[in-house]
Amino acid sequence: MLPPRMRHCQINKFQQKGEILTNNFKIFTLAVLIIFVFNTSAKAGGLFGPPQTVSKEAGGLNTAIGYFYHEDTFKNDTDRLIRQNSIYSQVAYGAKNMWEIYGRIGVSDLKIFEVFSSTDDSTTTNKLDFEDNWKFFGTLGAKGFYPISKIFGIGAFVQGTYHFSNYTDSVAGSSNGVPYTANLNIKNLWDINFGMGFQLTVPLNIKLYAGPYVYYSEAKASLNTNIPGIDYAAGSVSIRNKSIVGGFAGVDIPLFKGFHLNVEGQYADSLSAGAAISYIY
């Protein structure tokens, strides 16, 4: 048996570790509550991921494939709900458990609800919603991380996305009894995001994270002809995101042989969410 003094020292060490874990968990929980109580709107442009890179400490690549479901509200004179499903592949390089740069290439669809609804009784349309599928986009991002303790830290990131192709859909109907067909183009869709995240590492090296962010997103909407009662006159009109502040939370789970699972949610006017599988080289 160990002498009483040594047993007492071991007990004190366990108590100190328990107090540190408890205090860090309280800080993390408080951060999550602040984010989701005071952030009532946000934007989802893809997973931001944990603040700390998953690459090896000495430096190295990690790759990922991911899916994200996104809802947001864009506005001009009228608010319109948009919905996107995106699939992407990512290549990243990180080092020292403190920084990472990454790039993505992927495809996304776009749906804008009730953009073809008419406010003029003399105009009819054959559908309400704008829809187009699978256009290419690219994303660049960087993140940095500062460890406050062995299990708790804070980081910041910047991430931008540009959609290379135009989204296009057509609508048909009649206006004052005259048939028409019109095309609506959504072009130059882009966004920029900047945020910070709190990270807590729990047993099995699972990383829990959450944080606030700000963003701006814009696109050009172009209708090829004027139709009474339908949004967007002929020519180019700017549309942009309604909200500029949001919150996100997620978990990164080590799986096996260098694979990780990342699941993340972003709360906006509605909830957006996605997941990615990454591999560490």
- State the pLDDT at residue 271: 82
Q: Answer whether residue 10 shows pLDDT above 80.
A: no
Residue 57 has φ and ψ, to the nearest 5°, of -60, -35
Q: Confidence band (pLDDT; 50, 70, 90) for 34?
A: very low
Kindly tell me if the per-residue pLDDT of 3 is higher than 80: no
| CATH number of the domain residue 133 falls in | 2.40.128
Q: What is the model's pTM?
A: 0.81
Is residue 243 a contact partner of residue 269, using CB atoms and an 8 Å limit?
Answer: yes
Q: Does 21 score more than 60 pLDDT?
A: no
Per-residue pLDDT tens for 172-227? 999 999 999 999 999 999 999 999 999 999 999 999 999 999 989 999 999 988 88
User: What are the tens digits of pLDDT across the range 85-100?
Assistant: 999 999 999 999 999 9
> Is the pLDDT assigned to residue 39 strictly greater than 90?
no
pLDDT band at 11 (very low <50, low <70, confident <90, very high): very low
Residue-level pLDDT at 114: 94
> By residue range, what is the domain housing residue 180?
4-280
Question: How many structural domains is the chain composed of?
Answer: 1
